[in-house]
Homo-oligomer: A and B are copies of this chain.
Amino acid sequence: MSTIRDVAKIAGVSIATVSRVINFPEKVGIETRKRVFRAMEVCRYKYNALARGFATKRSHTFGLIVPTITNPIFAESTRGIQDFANEQGYQVILGNSDYQYEKEAKMVEVLRERQVEGLIITTTNLKGETLKSLLDDRFPFVLLYSTVRRGPISAVGVDNFLGGYRATEHLIHFHHRRIAMLAGAFNCSDRSFHRWHGYKRCLKDNHIPYDPDLVLKTEYSLARGREGVKSLVSFKNPPTAIFCSNDFLALGAMAGAREAGISLPQDLSIVGFDDMQIASSVTPALTTIRQPAYEMGELGAKILLHHIGNKVYKPVHKILATRLVIRESTTVVRTMKKEFYKTKAMSVHGA
């Protein structure tokens, strides 16, 4: 590979001039410029961005750590991040933590050694050493998908508590009282934990006793959703509705329920969380809590770049709005159907 030295020699100028042609062409005489460009062609010169990064101490790269890119919701936010980053001349190195703190910590280590200028992390452990040490070193980073309202860490996420609350409320509105929850393991994500809190609180506010047997903590996957629902419906007093901590779990639960001979949504209402693309195209279309994933990623990248660019660090916390998207996977509890529509008619009259 030829370098600016080769180009300089061929063009009969100094390396500084070549460098200028690359970075500030207008600062170089038109004739010299042309000569340099031709010289570049002659020796098939290719710019070395890594060398620049080394010289300027700016890699124009940042690291992104997600639980796993195979979850479409993370793919979505990743696109948001990439699109903005690329536009700004940044590239992103992607790593998966599989919801394991050790992998996350290792990845942070590796990426920092690689001189990424900043990190976007969907963390598995909000309280871990990793984030603390990032903070100590004043290393630019922002959390994604986390509900952090204050403190020194920048984050963009949604109100998971409220999301859980709304999902549950929607079910209660449909007269469900035996409402189960398929939750992601709490040690994997504070998100699931907050959603569960929202669920619990909503139950309480509506004077529905909390039954711990109705809460299954499991891994975020189709397979676990499938299994979970089967165990749930085998109870002597099974739930009439399930709130799932993410759409994978919900979609898996729908499949599992059908395998168990349950008809949806008549015999079992299901609500998810995320609103991944496919959620609106399945049957019954999934009722779910929508997270604006792409926007979240975009915003996260924007904030990170801002941190990188500014000397003074002022953490920013953004809570984006979620939205309950009511589709077909939830309906009025069977025994209450007549009742429900009567009430409905009345309330319409009342309005």
Contact = CB atoms under 8 A, between A and B. Distances in A.
A84 to B, nearest CB: 13
A50 interface: yes
A76 interface: yes
B254 A115 contact: no
A109 B91 CA distance: 13
Given A91-B93, A95-B86, A251 B46 contact: no
Interface string A23-55: 000000000000000000000101111110110
A258 interface: yes
Interface stretch (A67-75, A123-131, A144-152, A153-161): A67-75
Contact of A51 (B54, B68, B69): B54
Contact of A72 (B48, B75, B137, B252): B75
Q: How many copies does the complex hold?
A: 2
A52 to B, nearest CB: 9
Residues of A in contact with B, size category: 35 or more
A14 interface: no
Q: What are the 4 A-B residue pairs with the smallest beta carbon separation, nearest first?
A: A255-B281, A50-B115, A49-B113, A54-B54
13 contacts: A44-B137, A48-B115, A49-B114, A49-B115, A50-B54, A50-B59, A70-B79, A82-B95, A91-B111, A251-B282, A255-B280, A255-B281, A282-B282
Interface of A: 44, 46-51, 53-54, 59, 61, 68-70, 72, 75-76, 78-79, 82-83, 86, 91-96, 110-115, 137, 222, 226, 251-252, 254-255, 258, 277-278, 280-283, 285
